[in-house]
Amino acid sequence: MDTPKEIFLKDYKLPDYYFDTVDLNFSLGEEKTIVASKITVYPRVEGSSFPLVLDGEDLKLLSITVDGKELKEGDYCLDSRHLTLPLPPSGTFTLEIVNEIYPQKNTSLEGLYMSSMCFCTQCEAQGFRKITFYQDRPDIMAKYTCRIEADKSSYPVLLSNGNLKEKGHLEGDRHYALWEDPFKKPCYLFALVAGPLESRDDIFVTRSARKVSLRIWTPAQDVPKTAHAMYSLKEAMKWDEDVFGLEYDLDLFNIVAVPDFNMGAMENKSLNIFNSGCVLASPETATDGDYAAILGVIGHEYFHNWTGNRVTCRDWFQLSLKEGLTVFRDQEFSSDMGSRTVKRIADVSSLRNYQFPEDGGPMAHPVRPHSYIKMDNFYTGKILSSLALNVPVYEKGAEVVRMYKTLLGSQGFRKGMDLYFKRHDGQAVTCEDFFAAMRDANNADFANFLIWYSQAGTPVVKVTSSYNAEAHTYSLKFSQEVPPTPGQPVKEPMFIPVAVGLLDSSGKDMPLSSVYHDGKLQSVEISNHPVYTTVVQVTKKEEEFVFADIFEQPTPSLLRGYSAPIRLESNLSDSDLFFLLAHDSDEFNRWEAGQELARKLMLSMVADFQQGKPLALNPNFVHGLKCILSDASLDKEFIAKAITLPSESEIMDMMEVADPDAVHSVRKFIRKELASQLKAEFLNMVLANRSSEEYVFNHPNMARRALKNVALAYLASLEDPETTELAVHEYKTATNMTEQFAALAALAQHPGKSRDDVLADFYSKWQHDYLVVNKWFALQASSDIPSNVENVRNLMKHPAFDLRNPNKVYCVIGAFCYSPVNFHAKDGSGYKFLGEMVVQLDKLNPQVASGLVSSFSRWRRYDENRQNLAKAQLEMIMSTNGLSENVFEIASKSLA
């Protein structure tokens, strides 16, 4: 392998040539597919003469014609990555290229490939160059037509972007369809699908009374499982009109679900292609979690139509321009459709579990990276059960967008969005353009806010407070520090919006009147309306805010709603935290207070465990949770979240040297102790929250199931005959997958006959449904039972396993890495397994392989023995012949 080339943001140059129209013609075949393209090319600067360089990979060139004249060998240069025309004509010209590709042999699932019986495409980020020669970069925007020709009986449905213009029969049992997309687009949004599909059809009437045909395409037998996806799509279309005034812009919107897909889904213009795991659901086969994920992903891809497609990225460094913004939009959509607090808790947990560790490791990079080797790596972060995301670009990017809203308010944010579309519709732009629209629409002073895009690492903010009883003032002193990350040893202070409320001794919010900052008194009140939460803007390394007119010592509720993606360290005592847990009007912070208590408790118990001291659970903690459990005023799903302990990875991330065995033992001990001390409460929760009616996807029903399932899992951890029998009973009588799977999972944590029986029963019940079988795989693979690596190797021999299907790889190999005790097994067996798998998978599908290799990236966080074992695997991977750029980038950066 040539040493892969690193691409830098600072090297961005405008293209020398633009494309105006692109007419594609596909002749799909069983041996090979012929692609013919006809492109109108024009120079950026009239009269300039530059070579025209086209990207192309794994293509067989058949012919090139310029203005109707076929080029001969010598007139162009061709290497394994580029086709160069050294001397194109000056002015506008027509370029025609014919090439051959082999979708049946494409296991990378990038470009044109086969999934079950269908041809389908995935072009983002740089897959279009595997279809035909092109300037494969998002700032080349053109109008496309696409003609598809294929065997009629094998491929009855032929789809591409835009509107269907024409279709008809051809000789030899073939047929064709001609599609035209009226909107200019970059090639990464191109899509084609051909195969034996059927659709669920519906209609959405837009707010300006246009009728849009909606079609969700799947193999015939799956059409009944698309009802929830259709519901989600219509809700998303309505929500975008209501909240952002954004209407759909074509008469047709297609979604296709395919079983083989590297990621969750793709927002191709009017032809979204989805991993079927993010589309198909029925109450019997999908959990509440799946239903919620489908709602979110359908929303996400639909919202891209404006944030991504109508306004796109200038270059791939700007990925967060569309992804951060669109994740923010799908989070808001899900919040509005369910519980805002619960959604926020889920999103913050995921930041802590994935973003914080990555931001503190060798792969740390800013929301807008400065360089990349393989862009795909900036999409694939941690992967579980068919969903993949890159936490810095996607989730931290969404937090950055959320901060604009926190600073500007809903109306100010909307003004910024309106201006962004007004200025940039039809353009390929940058994160600064978004920033400028937000700023200009509000005449806002954003100080050093842009640093959020360029500086990696999670800021650590320390707060100390003091009350002055004579002056009736309350002071909050902030200091911030951003830890060094690769390539960024020295950091600048960041602009951190901290939402603050103050609780009086009865637990009620105090009205906030004014704040001194830099010696200046600022009013907080808005036209005599009491204000209970205010956002202070921390922009310096050290800064003090003093609240006036505070007549008793308050308990501060800091960073309400998690107003910035930081680590907050406060001087709150345990009793302050118990007080907040019991009283804070900000529900998110109530949860957070409980989590902070749990984190402190777990860390101190881990230290005890390491010193061989006996473990004992603080009775105040048990009491605090008991109060939450019996508080009838609380939302049930909130209670379920509040009684769930921080994950093992979250605790390991807070340790000097991560100790998976100690963290696992402590978490297990606390769970069992809570289960035995609160057994009566948990039993009551299971009995009181059983389903009485048919499955409905709405918040109250999901909340009830969530609470019941958490209680059942606690009870099953006791491993006594009574609770085991209860779990078996819940498993057998469940009428929906949410409860059935929860009971199965509760039982599956403990080796023994009950476990073996229910696992066998579940498989025989669901073996015909590959998505349910994937759950069965993931549950076993992620299990903490001792020496699970052998079971996982056996699962890979199961007839339902297939190394070429990404979902199955994520559910077996990926899920295995989610069990810290097994993945980080002292004997290195987990590392060795993953090392072997990465090498094997890299030959089939580099994107999937590099997603897995990132499980190694934090190897330096462990003890010396584990470090050596993990490092040996990374070195073994690096020494493999023919390593992909994807895996090379992650493995080499991990070792650096």
Q: How far is the CB of 236 from Zn ion (least distance, A)?
A: 13
The 292-331 contact track toward Zn ion, x by CB under 5 A, reads -------------------------------x--x-----
Q: Which does 589 bind (CB under 5 to 8 A by kind): Zn ion, ligand ARG, none?
A: none
Q: How far is the CB of 482 from ligand ARG (least distance, A)?
A: 27
323 near ligand ARG (CB under 6 A)? yes
The 281-300 contact track toward ligand ARG, x by CB under 6 A, reads -------------------x
Stretch 719-738 residues interacting with ligand ARG (CB under 6 A):
none
CA angle 559, 560, 561 (to 5 degrees): 115
Q: Which does 265 bind (CB under 5 to 8 A by kind): Zn ion, ligand ARG, none?
A: ligand ARG
Q: How many CB atoms lie within 10 A of CB 281?
A: 24
Q: Which residues pair with 24 in a beta bridge?
A: 37, 146
Nearer to Zn ion, 323 or 730 (CB): 323
Burial of 518 (0-12, 13-18, 19+ CB in 10 A): exposed
Phi-psi region of 132 (alpha: psi -120 to 50; beta: other; left: phi over 0): beta
Q: Which does 272 bind (CB under 5 to 8 A by kind): ligand ARG, Zn ion, none?
A: none
Q: Which does 456 bind (CB under 5 to 8 A by kind): Zn ion, ligand ARG, none?
A: none
Q: Which of 236, 266, 436, 874 binds ligand ARG (CB under 6 A)?
A: 266
E strands present in 186-316? 192-195, 198-205, 211-218, 252-258, 265-266, 271-275, 312-313
Binding residues for ligand ARG, rule CB under 6 A, total: 15
Q: Which of 101, 112, 265, 417 binds ligand ARG (CB under 6 A)?
A: 265
Q: How far is the CB of 308 from Zn ion (least distance, A)?
A: 7
Nearer to ligand ARG, 263 or 678 (CB): 263
509 near ligand ARG (CB under 6 A)? no
Nearer to ligand ARG, 301 or 596 (CB): 301
Q: Which does 88 bind (CB under 5 to 8 A by kind): Zn ion, ligand ARG, none?
A: none
Q: What distance in Å separates the CA atoms of residue 335 and residue 296, rounded to the nearest whole number?
A: 10
Q: Which residues pair with 63 in a beta bridge?
A: 98
Q: Which does 263 bind (CB under 5 to 8 A by kind): ligand ARG, Zn ion, none?
A: ligand ARG
The sign of the CA dihedral 23, 180, 108, 824 is: positive
Q: Which of 136, 267, 358, 730 binds ligand ARG (CB under 6 A)?
A: 267
Q: How far is the CB of 347 from ligand ARG (least distance, A)?
A: 16
Q: Which of 26, 248, 354, 379 binds ligand ARG (CB under 6 A)?
A: 379
Q: Which does 125 bind (CB under 5 to 8 A by kind): Zn ion, ligand ARG, none?
A: ligand ARG
The 235-264 contact track toward ligand ARG, x by CB under 6 A, reads ---------------------------xxx
Q: Which does 124 bind (CB under 5 to 8 A by kind): Zn ion, ligand ARG, none?
A: ligand ARG
Q: Which of 260, 301, 587, 659 binds ligand ARG (CB under 6 A)?
A: 301
Q: What distance in Å separates the CA atoms of residue 534 and residue 548, rounded to the nearest whole number?
A: 13
Type of residue numbered 875 = E
Q: How far is the CB of 164 from ligand ARG (least distance, A)?
A: 24
Q: Which residues are catalytic?
A: 301
List the one residue out of 241, 264, 123, 106 whose CA is nearest residue 192.
Answer: 123
Q: How far is the CB of 308 from ligand ARG (least distance, A)?
A: 7
Nearer to ligand ARG, 150 or 853 (CB): 853
Tokens 């203005």 -> residue: 67
Burial of 775 (0-12, 13-18, 19+ CB in 10 A): buried
CA dihedral 420→317→17→101, nearest 10 degrees, is: -120
- DSSP string for 152-217: TTT--EEEESSEEEEEEEETTTEEEEEEEEEEEE-GGG--EEEES-EEEEEEEE-TT--EEEEEEE
List the one residue out of 632, 641, 628 whose CA is nearest residue 581.
Answer: 628
Nearer to ligand ARG, 299 or 594 (CB): 299
Stretch 844-863 residues interacting with ligand ARG (CB under 6 A):
847
Query: Is 834 in contact with 854 (CB distance < 8 Å)?
Result: no
Q: How far is the CB of 307 from ligand ARG (least distance, A)?
A: 11
Q: How far is the CB of 379 from Zn ion (least distance, A)?
A: 9
Q: Please tell me whether the peptide bond between 125 and the residue prior to it is cis, using omega within 30 degrees of 0.
A: yes
Stretch 113-142 residues interacting with ligand ARG (CB under 6 A):
122, 124-125
List the one residue out of 59, 46, 38, 55 whose CA is nearest residue 17.
Answer: 46
Q: Residue 531 has what DSSP assignment?
A: B
Q: How far is the CB of 331 from ligand ARG (least distance, A)?
A: 13
889 near ligand ARG (CB under 6 A)? no
Burial 140-172 (b: 16+ CB within 10 A, else e): bbbbbbbbbbbbeebbebbbbbbeeeeeeeeee
Tokens 């669109």 -> residue: 326
Nearer to ligand ARG, 393 or 748 (CB): 393
Gap between the terminal Cα atoms of the chain = 19
Site residues, ligand ARG (CB under 6 A): 122, 124-125, 262-267, 300-301, 323, 376, 379, 847
Site residues, Zn ion (CB under 5 A): 323, 326
